[in-house]
Structures are given as C-alpha cells and as structure tokens.
Amino acid sequence: MMRQRDKTQALLFLSLCAFTAVNLTPVIWGVLTSIKQPVDAFSVPPKLIFAPTFEFHWQVWVEKAFWHYLINSVVISVSTVVTSVSIGTMAAYGLSRMRNQASRGLLFGLLAMRMFPHILLAIPFFVLARSLGLINTYPAMILALVAINQPFTIWLMRSFFVDVPHELYEAAAIDGCSAWQVFARVALPVVRPGLWVTALFSLLLAYNEFLFALVLTGPDTKTLPVAIAEYGGEDINYWSLSAAAAVGIMLPIVAFMMALQRHLVRGLALGAIKG
C-alpha cells in the first residue's frame, strides 16, 4: 500500500514538473530572446550557446525611457487596487450578511456586467472621458478599471466573508461592538489573507490591461502594454526590444508575488476548513 502511494506521488510530481516546464517555456524563450542578437534569436536550429548582450534592455529602459511608462502603469494599477479593493470589500461584507433574493439578484447583475466584452465598453468609456476632458489623464484609466474589476473584487471577497462563522459576529455584537466595529475588528482580520489574494488579482488585471489603456491614455499616461505594442512587425530588431520590455514588465509582478507568497498561500486556503 505504501509503495503504491509513493508511485502515485512520484507520478503526480513528474506530471506537475512537466506542466510547469510547458508553461515556463515561453517565459524562458522570451528571456533568451531579450539577451540575444537578432541573428542568434532567429537562427534555425535555435542557438543555445551564444554571447549574451544587454543592449536591448539598455535601449528599452534608458534610450526609449520605458521607465516613464512603468511609472504610469504602477500609478494606475496601485490606485485601481486601493480603490477597487476598498469599495469591493465593504460591498462584499454587506452582501455576505444578506441571504435573500435581492442580494442574489444583485450578485448576478454584477456577474453579468463582468461578462460584457471589453470592446463593447471601450467606446462608451471613451465618449464619457472625452466629454469630461479626462482623455490622457490618470483618473480616466483608474475609474474605468475600477468599474471593470469591481464585480470580480466583490465576488472574490464575498467568498471569503461567507466562510467566516456567524458566531464571531454574534459574539462581537454581544460584547457591544457596533456594525462598523464588527466589520473592522472582527471580519477584516479574519479575511486578511483573502485581501492579499484579491489585491494581487486586481493588480494583475489592471497592470496588464491593454484595450482601455490604448483608448483612454495618451503620450503622458501611456502604460507599458501599449508602449510594447509599438514595437514588433517586420523589423526583427523590434522583437528583441519587445522581449526585453516584456521581461521588464514581469519582474515587478514576480517580485510582488514572491514577497507576498506566504499571504497568498493562506488566502487561497482560506475557507478550506471551516468550524
């Protein structure tokens, strides 16, 4: 019995390793392309032994000033996360305490809003932003991303609040806590790992948004996905530039996930055991 279990675990481990290798192949290929000369990057068969160069990373971040677009992406993403998670957390807490038909209808309406294709909403957002004079400004992108990501934030945070035992709320109320104190001092500390998970996914959605950034931003507020899209096409030198910029885009998110790894694991496991 023990030997059979060991075989199963070994097979599962090998399967996970193979799955990870398949998913990491594009990333590794992009990293290698960013440090290869175009003649090496597009050679057939691919060259595994080559003289690495950081010329394209220098061009991207220094000569082409991609650091400015990075700042734009960070400002828009962080502002979106702070606004969206703050509003979504309070809304999710209220909806988790409501167990009636009205709350279910509201949740379904939020989910239906999230189902709309972005291309369908891009034009109305553009017309609204232009009429308010917000094109090429941070508020236009932030408000649009908050509106798009809010249903996701509410649904995800509600799933964490639903798993909190109601006895905790009742005990806090008996001790004399107001409704706001129950939320701030009881509910929030319990679901804090879930807040990190929600913040991370909201950050990923905002950081990688392309369509709305293409429509609502301009030269002063352009984000990294839009800036990278300007390079590519027929000139193979642009492929190395795009690869260098893509690697640079990944690094802040990878660093953020590594820093929050402990909280993410706890957040993803939140609610797995109730009682």
pTM of the model: 0.83
Q: Give me the pLDDT at residue 275, please.
A: 41
Residue 201's Cβ-count burial label (10 Å; 0-12, 13-18, 19+) is middle
The mean pLDDT value for 75-82 works out to 94
The mean pLDDT value for 164-191 works out to 85
Q: Give me the pLDDT at residue 263, please.
A: 63
The mean pLDDT value for 112-116 works out to 79
Query: Is the pLDDT at 19 greater than 80, yes or no?
Result: yes
Query: Is the pLDDT at 179 greater than 60, yes or no?
Result: yes
119/235 Cα distance (integer angstroms):
29
Query: Which three-class secondary structure state does DSSP give residue 232?
Result: coil
- CATH domain 65-230 topology: MetI-like fold (1.10.3720)
Alpha-carbon torsion 86, 90, 96, 98, what sign?
Answer: negative
Query: Is the pLDDT at 273 greater than 60, yes or no?
Result: no
Tokens of 68: 């400015």
Contacts of 146 (CB under 8 A, 6+ apart): 80, 83, 84, 87
Query: Is the pLDDT at 119 greater than 60, yes or no?
Result: yes
Contacts of 37 (CB under 8 A, 6+ apart): 50, 51, 53, 240
pLDDT band at 25 (very low <50, low <70, confident <90, very high): confident
26/38 Cα distance (integer angstroms):
17
Q: With CA atoms as reference, report the closest residue to 227 among 34, 64, 29, 35.
A: 64
Q: Give me the pLDDT at residue 80, please.
A: 95
Q: Give me the pLDDT at residue 274, please.
A: 45
Query: Is the pLDDT at 232 greater than 80, yes or no?
Result: no
The mean pLDDT value for 224-230 works out to 85
Query: Is the pLDDT at 11 greater than 90, yes or no?
Result: no
Average pLDDT, the chain: 83
pLDDT digits (tens, 9 = 90+) for 129-148: 999 999 999 999 999 999 98
